[in-house]
Structure 1
Amino acid sequence: MKNNSYRPHFIVPGSSSTRLASSSAAPSSSSIAPTSIGAPAIAAQMATNVDISDSKLWPDFVTKAFIDIMVDEVTKGNMPNDVFHKRTWTSMTTKLSSMTNRSFKIVQLKAKMHRLRAMYREFYSLLQNIGFGWNTETNTVTASEEVWRNYLKVHDKASQFQKKGCDHYKLLDMIFNKNNATGVLHHSSTQDPPNTDEENELDN
């Protein structure tokens, strides 16, 4: 029977094979044209990676389930001073894991809540500006191209609402209206909320 196992091939120093290998070596760094990636391109790629990662961990049905759980806790009065206490976070994490048949950690729910809060605030601010309308049935924002152009010069993150409004806005309003973020994951309106990778690095 033929043996197809790998056999290393050794080259005798000074042989023609050695000379051939030397002549075909990689070109020096001076002969390679430098490449550069601009900051906007890097930022765009990072944003894309975050979106992909978030969509894998938080598909629509999981996000909706989490929002429903938060609304239920708010309705029960379990968000005193606009903050969920650790016992409530533990309960919500257990419920979401059970409902979706997925394993979640408290820190992941906290980070997702703050991304939802950031989206809610961005959309809320947009609707306060003259020239913008919102069709609740189709969840689309109505505004002229000029209104959009002028607004995006100052609020570039609002571009996410050009084709589609804020999902579950009315439910989010029940949670975040007049709500002030506190705690380890508090972020200002000018600072991005933690992405999915950062969720895995944060402690409870």
Structure 2
Amino acid sequence: MHIQVILSMGDSREKYNVWTIEESNELLKIMVDAAMRGWRDKNGVFSKKTVEKKILPALNDKIGCAKTITQYQSRLKWFKGRYNSYCKLMRHNSGFGWDPETKKFTANDEVWEDYFKSHPKHEHYRTDTFEDYEDLRIVVGTGTATGKHSIGVGDDTDARKFEIEENRGTSLIDDYVFDHNIGEYFVQSDGQ
């Protein structure tokens, strides 16, 4: 189901198709695959040409829609905002972590309560799952896709495998993993 909104700008009218969940999810998958293939430019972004010639055709063919570069840019901005809200949570306090198995943010009760004092509308972060966090990290965050596990756009293989460039002497909050067996966070090493 596509919802169309007519935007009136003076005498011109532009038809805009609102993004469905399916379209957004598929675009994110395609962007992860494109990052894995090394299609970003030197600045770490996808060029307009790459988006128009590779990403949008793959999306439009797969979903049967007709998304444009303007609509892509709008969705990319939305992806960045969503990822930034996740990062704001992770930066709030050193007590937050990420559990890649449950797809949830983790912290002890005291850390959550402290966070909710300044972000009362985010109480759902404690219980919700965030299936897109790792993909958004690759597409717009600090995750660096190396192309090592590259697959073809449209393959049924999961392209969400990626490597992080070595952080010499530093650990990012995203490098911490919660171990349910010992009840602590630890820096995940390459050997795990």
Name the TM-score, length of structure 1 as normaliser. 0.50
Q: Which residue among 74, 94, 100 is the counterpart of 1:111?
A: 74
Cα deviation digits, residues 65-116 of structure 1 (max 9, x gap)? 1112112222232221022221112132222111101221211111111211
1:100 correspondence with 2:63:
yes
Q: Give per-residue Cα distances to partners, 1:16-57, cap 9 Å, x unaligned.
A: xxxxxxxxxxxxxxxxxxxxxxxxxxxxxxxxxxxxxxxx94
Q: Distance in 1 between matches of 2:88 and 2:120?
A: 13
Is 1:87 the counterpart of 2:26? The answer is no
Select between 69-78 and 140-149 the one with higher mean Cα deviation: 140-149
CA separation in 1, counterparts of 2:47 and 2:73? 11
Question: Aligned-residue CA RMSD in angstroms?
Answer: 2.7
Task: Summarize the Cα distance change of 1:102–1:157 in structure 2 as closer, same or farther, 3 Å threshold.
Answer: farther
Query: Letter of the aligned partner of 2:137 in structure 1?
Result: D
Aligned 8 A contact 2:104 2:127 in 1: yes
Q: Spell out the pairing of 1:117-156 with structure 2 (5 A cutoff).
A: 117-128=80-91, 129-155=93-119
Cα pair distance change 1:65/1:135, threshold 3 Å: same
- Once the two structures are TM-superposed, the CA of residue 149 in structure 1 deviates from its matched residue by 3.5
Task: Select 2:127's aligned residue among 139, 145, 163.
Answer: 163
Does residue 71 of the first structure (1) align with residue 35 of the second (2)?
no
Query: Shift in Å at residue 134 of structure 1?
Result: 3.1
1:161 & 1:74 partners in 2: Cα distance? 27
Taking structure 1 as reference, are residues 174 and 157 closer, same or farther at Cα in structure 2, changes over 3 Å only?
A: farther
Higher strand share: 2
CA contact (8 A) 2:31 2:139 kept: yes
Alpha-carbon distance, 1:133 to partner: 3.6
How many residue pairs get aligned? The number is 124
Alignment gaps of 5+ in structure 1:
1-55, 180-204
How far is the alpha carbon of 1:131 from its aligned partner?
2.9
Distance 2:124 2:19 in 1: 17
Correspondence for 1:174: 138
Label 1:86 to 1:155 Cα distance change in 2 as closer, same or farther (>3 A): same
**Structure 1 vs Structure 2: percent identity of aligned residues?**
27
- CA distance in 2: counterparts of 1:117 and 1:163, whole angstroms: 22
Question: Which residues of structure 2 form unaligned runs of 5+?
Answer: 1-16, 144-192
TM normalised by structure 2 equals: 0.53
Please identify the structure whose Cα radius of gyration is greater: 1
